[in-house]
Amino acid sequence: MTDSRLQSLQQAVPGLRLKSDPADLEHYGRDWTRRWTPAPLAIALPASIEEVQAIVRWANQQQVALVPSGGRTGLSGGAVAANGELVISMERMNKVLAFNAVDRTLTVQPGIALEAVHNAASEHGLAYPVDFAARGSCSIGGNIATNAGGIRVIRYGNTREWIAGLKLVTGTGELLDLNRALIKNSSGYDLRHLVIASEGTLGIVVEATLRLTDPPSPSNVMLLALPSFEVLMQVFAAFRERLQLEAFEFFTDRALHHVLAHGAQKPFDDVHPYYVVTEFASGDEASEAAAMAAFETCMDNGWVSDGVISQSDAQAAQLWRLREGITESLAAYKPYKNDVSVRISAMPAFLAETQALLGQAYPHFEVVWFGHIGDGNLHINVLKPGDVDYPLFVQQCEHVTELLAQALQRCGGSISAEHGIGLVKKGYLGSTRSDAEIAVMRGIRQVLDPNGLMNPGKLFD
Ligand code: MLT
Ligand code: ZN
């Protein structure tokens, strides 16, 4: 059965590269979530838009589900193929196609890594400012599929802000050229924005034109030690009102403990319960004085107990490693991840409620908090103890996520800030989207993917 389907695919798309070794099925069938056992039919590695279209048409004839696949660094199961789907890997479609100096755009194929986009932009004296720790492995197609955020959203926004145009192969194999990189385009629905964050459920992004900007001005990185959770938003306000913030991130002592165990350098002699890494534009006397004023205000009010400011690029990188190394340092614990957001104004109340809730709900699990506090986005990672079975651990975590989802619903937050819904959070979509909204989403999907073959089971059933 399997062989005959692959033979028919090979006939329908002559020259298409396919992989079906057990090691490949395992490798391409999963993302960074480790909850599902990969079981794809095979892996297709198209080299052109025409090949992608031909695969999608074949899938419609054969009723084979498709899972688009980029760097598979996703944290919500959006790129998992556990039910005999055909994975469409974009790894051969990974090139820069064009740079336009007048428009300040870079046109790329979806399989290109975020870091390669950074490098290409910088070769032209410009910058693509979306950035996060998985930059070397994640792909632009996946960034678009989840509207990826990261550490510079506070300054530059999410991926969505930087997509000038994109090409989509829909669930019927139609090629749509969306927005054609126009700055102004008031000609009806902006379908480009429907595709961004659609997690591969409306079609496959086969090309994207990215907006570029000026390279960032010189900046400084500061690490702050905080005595309590309650002062976090005061520290944020003290820095934000005086400085052009490029990033404002927080993590707990538990997070630091794991990063240090992975080889990072200890920043302070004393142990503190909470830390902030902030980056801000500097390089002139006024901004340096403003940074000092923010720091002194925090010290005088008892909101900050210690601090260090980078004196070189190497030291800035060292401080960033304390924040960016967290995900990798926790990976061995197969953490259950919550990636939630609220409006910044709702953050103090939400932090207090969540802290109380999790304190009661997880007395026996280690909970590691970190995240993009300047964007109202918290990552709450629960680590599996060695003596608890994984299914039982997940079951207990889901019970707490249910309570978290209720708290988010009360304060108008989101159950997924930047990781996507995927398989992991689809049971909680209703806490962030109304029934009417979900019905509209289903209707849109029906139009673009009438046979329900594009990444089925992700986002909603
Ligand atoms: C991060 O902010 O480091 C990423 O979203 C990854 C994660 O949450 O583990
Ligand atoms: Zn994050």
Question: Is 133 a pocket residue for ligand 1 (Cβ < 6 Å)?
Answer: yes
* DSSP H or E run through 220: strand 219-226
406 and 431 Cβ atoms separated by less than 8 Å: yes
Answer whether residue 100 is part of any domain. no
99 and 188 Cβ atoms separated by less than 8 Å: no
Give the global pTM. Answer: 0.97
Q: Ligand 1: which of 75, 381, 414, 418 to mutate, judged by most atoms within 8 Å of the beta carbon? A: 75
Ligand 1: distance of its center to the CA of 223 in Å? 18
Answer whether residue 35 is part of any domain. yes
67 and 25 Cβ atoms separated by less than 8 Å: no
The verdict on 294 and 370 lying in the same domain is: no
Answer whether residue 52 is part of any domain. yes
| Ligand 1 atom at minimal distance to the Cα of residue 323 | 3
Ligand 2: distance of its center to the CA of 149 in Å? 7
The verdict on 322 and 372 lying in the same domain is: no
Q: What is the pLDDT of residue 365?
A: 87
Question: Mean pLDDT, to the nearest integer, of 376-391?
Answer: 94
Q: What is the pLDDT of residue 361?
A: 81
* DSSP H or E run through 168: strand 163-170
Q: CB-hemisphere CA count at 13 Å for 337? A: 29
Helices (H) and strands (E) in the chain, counts: 15, 16
Alpha carbon 324 to its chain centroid, in Å, reads 13
204 and 52 Cβ atoms separated by less than 8 Å: yes
**By three-state DSSP, how is residue 349 classified?**
helix
Q: What gap in Å lies between CA 262 and CA 327, rounded to an integer?
A: 11
Quick check: 362 pLDDT over 90?
Answer: no
Ligand 2: distance of its center to the CA of 371 in Å? 6
The verdict on 224 and 318 lying in the same domain is: yes
Quick check: 397 pLDDT over 50?
Answer: yes
Q: What gap in Å lies between CA 307 and CA 276, rounded to an integer?
A: 9
The verdict on 261 and 235 lying in the same domain is: yes
Quick check: 65 pLDDT over 70?
Answer: yes
Question: Mean pLDDT, to the nearest integer, of 144-154?
Answer: 97
The verdict on 317 and 361 lying in the same domain is: no
Ligand 2: distance of its center to the CA of 314 in Å? 23
202 and 168 Cβ atoms separated by less than 8 Å: yes
| Ligand 1 atom at minimal distance to the Cα of residue 371 | 2
Q: What gap in Å lies between CA 413 and CA 440, rounded to an integer?
A: 20
Answer whether residue 442 is part of any domain. no
Q: Is 215 exposed, middle or buried (0-12, 13-18, 19+ CB in 10 A)?
A: exposed
CA neighbor of 245 nearest in space, from 128, 156, 307? 156
The verdict on 322 and 343 lying in the same domain is: no
CA neighbor of 451 nearest in space, from 51, 59, 35, 28? 59
144 and 207 Cβ atoms separated by less than 8 Å: no
* DSSP H or E run through 34: none
Beta-carbon contacts of residue 285 (< 8 Å; ≥ 6 apart): none
Residues 205-225 pLDDT 10s: 999 999 999 999 999 999 999
Model confidence band, residue 360 (pLDDT cutoffs 50, 70, 90): confident
| Ligand 1 atom at minimal distance to the Cα of residue 330 | 9
Answer whether residue 231 is part of any domain. yes
The verdict on 299 and 245 lying in the same domain is: yes
Answer whether residue 366 is part of any domain. yes
Q: What gap in Å lies between CA 371 and CA 387, rounded to an integer?
A: 28
> From edge to edge, which strands make up the β-sheet containing 105-108?
96-100, 105-108, 203-211, 163-170, 175-178
Answer whether residue 281 is part of any domain. yes
The verdict on 343 and 283 lying in the same domain is: no
Ligand 1: distance of its center to the CA of 326 in Å? 8
Instruction: Identify the domain containing residue 376 by its residue range.
Output: 335-419
- Comparing 362 with 39, the larger pLDDT belongs to 39
Ligand 2: distance of its center to the CA of 324 in Å? 9
Model confidence band, residue 446 (pLDDT cutoffs 50, 70, 90): very high
Ligand nearest to the CA of residue 375, numbered in listed order: 2
Ligand 1: distance of its center to the CA of 30 in Å? 18
CATH number of the domain encompassing residue 392: 3.30.70.2740
User: Which of 295, 327, 359 is the C-terminal boundary of a domain?
Assistant: 327
Residues 398-427 pLDDT 10s: 998 999 999 999 999 999 999 999 999 999
408 and 377 Cβ atoms separated by less than 8 Å: no
The verdict on 320 and 271 lying in the same domain is: yes
ipTM of the modeled complex: 0.98
Ligand nearest to the CA of residue 324, numbered in listed order: 1
Model confidence band, residue 229 (pLDDT cutoffs 50, 70, 90): confident
Q: What is the pLDDT of residue 355?
A: 87
290 and 242 Cβ atoms separated by less than 8 Å: yes
Residues 37-62 pLDDT 10s: 999 999 999 999 999 999 999 999 99
Question: Mean pLDDT, to the nearest integer, of 328-355?
Answer: 93
Residue nearest to atom 8 of ligand 1 (CA): 379
Q: What gap in Å lies between CA 275 and CA 278, rounded to an integer?
A: 10
Quick check: 68 pLDDT over 80?
Answer: yes
Residues 254-302 pLDDT 10s: 999 999 999 999 999 999 999 999 999 998 899 999 999 999 999 999 9
**By three-state DSSP, how is residue 175 classified?**
strand
Answer whether residue 109 is part of any domain. no
Q: What gap in Å lies between CA 236 and CA 224, rounded to an integer?
A: 11
- Pairing outcome for strands 245-252 and 66-69: unpaired
* DSSP H or E run through 210: strand 203-211
**By three-state DSSP, how is residue 71 classified?**
coil
Question: Mean pLDDT, to the nearest integer, of 363-373?
Answer: 91
Which percentage of the chain shows pLDDT scores above 90? 93
Q: What gap in Å lies between CA 444 and CA 292, rounded to an integer?
A: 51
Mean pLDDT of the chain: 96
The verdict on 295 and 365 lying in the same domain is: no
The verdict on 53 and 24 lying in the same domain is: yes
CATH number of the domain encompassing residue 69: 3.30.43.10
Question: Mean pLDDT, to the nearest integer, of 139-167?
Answer: 98
Residue nearest to atom 6 of ligand 1 (CA): 327
Question: Is 379 a pocket residue for ligand 1 (Cβ < 6 Å)?
Answer: yes
C-alpha angle 327-325-314 in degrees, rounded to nearest 5: 160
Q: In angstroms, how far apart are the furthest CA atoms of the chain?
A: 73
Quick check: 1 pLDDT over 60?
Answer: no
Model confidence band, residue 2 (pLDDT cutoffs 50, 70, 90): low
The verdict on 251 and 308 lying in the same domain is: yes
Q: How many domains does the chain have?
A: 3
